[in-house]
Amino acid sequence: MTRRLRYPDAAEELGVEESWLRRHIKALPHSKLGRVVYFTDADLERIDQLHHHEPSTGPLAAAPTPTPSAGAHPLADLRPLPRRGKKLATVS
């Protein structure tokens, strides 16, 4: 049987305040049974995926950041589009 957690239990599982869940409920996966809001384990996993951020720099970063001498950035050749109403110039 699937667990159905109410606000206090779901907040404890996620490590957030209950008020945070209530404020962000429209953007969070959840289920309702009448007026009762509850969260399943799949909902909690999805919330964690949506709001989990790993550090990209510093001592806690998973991988070292690339150095500028490692070559040109893969998107370095991109150029902005011309203003509206202007024809796109052909690049040769």
Domains in the chain, start-ordered, CATH in brackets?
Answer: 1-53 (1.10.1660)
Where residue 58 falls among pLDDT bands split at 50, 70, 90? confident
Q: Which two tokens stand for residue 23?
A: 């404020």
Predicted confidence at residue 27, as pLDDT, reads: 93
| Residue scoring higher pLDDT (79 or 72) | 79
pTM of this prediction?
0.59
Q: Which two tokens stand for residue 82?
A: 């011309």
Q: Are 4 and 40 in contact (CB under 8 A)?
A: yes
Q: Which of 57-61, 77-81, 88-92 has the lowest mean pLDDT?
A: 88-92
Percent of the chain at pLDDT above 70? 82
